[in-house]
Amino acid sequence: MSDSAIVYVGTYTQAMGHVDGTAGGVEVYRLHRRVGTLEHLGTARGAENPSFVTLSAHGHFLYAVQELGEFAGKPGGGASAFAIDAATGMPVLVNSQPVHGAAPCYLTIDHSGRWLVTANYSGGNVTLLPILADGSLGEAVQVVQHAGAGMRDGPHPHAAIWSPDGTILLVPDCGLNQIYLYRFDADQGRLTPHEPPVARLPPASGPRHLEFDPSGRYLYCVNEHGSSVTAFAYDPARAALSELHTLSALPAGFEGRNSGADIHVSADGRFVYASMRGHDSLAVFRADADGRLTAVDHVSTQGRTPRNFALDPHSDLVLAANQDSNTIAFYRVDADGMPVPTGYVAEVPTPVCIRIVG
């Protein structure tokens, strides 16, 4: 294990209806693993509201959404490509493209490394863009529109993840209360509805983020409106989801306002963690061999409105982004799977998404 890693933090740079953005762009830090601290290296500028970021498999490029309602004078947000300086870890803007959907809030790269997908929350759609040989983004080749009355005001896709074999794209739509499944042709660059095309959630759940367990046989979904977690069994032969059960992610007796945000599975598949905004905690679940969950406990995120959080793949550290407190809180996972606060809380402007590299 290396003692250090680079951490990229997606942020908000503007004041919006739900957040007072104070960052300058993608914030870049060095993580010192042994002592559990962050050292600020700089700010990658050139993208407004780069709230969610991801990296190419080889780590040479970083991609960020631009969570906006208007981009380059046209309705919708954008996506940006950055080349990463190998010596410093700092990203440098390469180019940006419109995604033809407002408020993109998530992006992912397919297994071939040739395609980028954005989930556009307010646009209610999903956009496919090519990644060119030089790492830049080409113009969008497909925009898939979700439709329906929904729970509130129509479709709101909030994430997009690939099946373990990379052939299926799963898109949780918290407005329509279902997970869309698309077959993906990487040669043609085309998404087509799978059969069946959706997996439905219990009423008023609002599926937001997803993650497979290491075996690829189980999928876990954090539900924004229901403040719950749903466990699914996944059949890779049919690319079919079967709901196992749905559990509350809040402690008994909690009556305040809350919404679920992010979800991650431990590297050994034994624990599932979900962030709760309002209760401002990480909910901890034990995952049994059959994929079903048992609620264990909650740990405070030591700040307000935890969005994404990250499990360091090369240490026992957990980093939780408190969007409205401008902090990232540090934990170390004990033998029982509980994230235990280390006492270190870093000052980070409007953090949303955390990516730990190396």
Would you list the domain boundaries of the chain?
146-300
CATH of domain 146-300: 2.130.10.10
pLDDT in tens, 293-340: 999 999 999 999 999 999 999 999 999 999 999 999 999 999 999 999
Residue with tokens 């075996």: 215
What does the pLDDT read at residue 2?
Answer: 86
* pTM as predicted: 0.97
Q: Which pLDDT belongs to residue 1?
A: 64
For the purposes of burial, counting CB atoms within 10 Å of the CB of 198, is it exposed (0-12), middle (13-18) or buried (19 or more)? middle
Residues whose CB falls within 8 Å of the CB of residue 328, separated by 6 or more in sequence, listed in order? 9, 38, 319, 320, 321, 322, 345, 346, 348, 351, 354
- Tell me, what's the pLDDT at 41? 98
What pLDDT score does 17 carry? 85
- In whole angstroms, how far apart are CA 310 and each of 107, 265, 317, 329, 332? 16, 10, 8, 11, 12
pLDDT at 149 (0 to 100):
80
CA-based end-to-end distance of the chain: 9
d(CA 181, CA 34): 41
Contacts of 244 (CB under 8 A, 6+ apart): 218, 230, 231, 232, 233, 290, 291, 292
CA distance 355 to 352: 10
The DSSP line for 337-353 is S-EEEEEEEEE-SSEEE
Q: Where are the beta strands (DSSP E) in 266-305?
A: 271-277, 281-287, 293-300
The predicted structure's pLDDT at residue 151: 67
Residue 181 forms beta bridges with which residues? Answer: 170
Digit-by-digit pLDDT tens for the chain (358 residues) are: 689 999 999 999 999 889 999 999 999 999 999 999 999 999 999 999 999 999 999 999 999 999 999 999 999 999 999 999 999 999 999 999 999 999 999 999 999 999 999 999 999 999 999 999 999 999 999 999 999 887 668 999 999 999 999 999 999 999 999 999 999 999 999 999 999 999 999 999 999 999 999 999 999 999 999 999 999 999 999 999 999 999 999 999 999 999 999 999 999 999 999 999 999 999 999 999 999 999 999 999 999 999 999 999 999 999 999 999 999 999 999 999 999 999 999 999 999 999 999 7
Identify whether the C-beta of residue 99 lies closer than 8 Å to the C-beta of residue 118.
yes
Round to whole Å and give the CA distance between 186 and 111.
9
- CA 179 to chain centroid, in Å, comes to 15
**318 Cβ contact list (under 8 Å, min separation 6):** 273, 282, 309, 310, 311, 312, 330, 331, 332, 333, 339
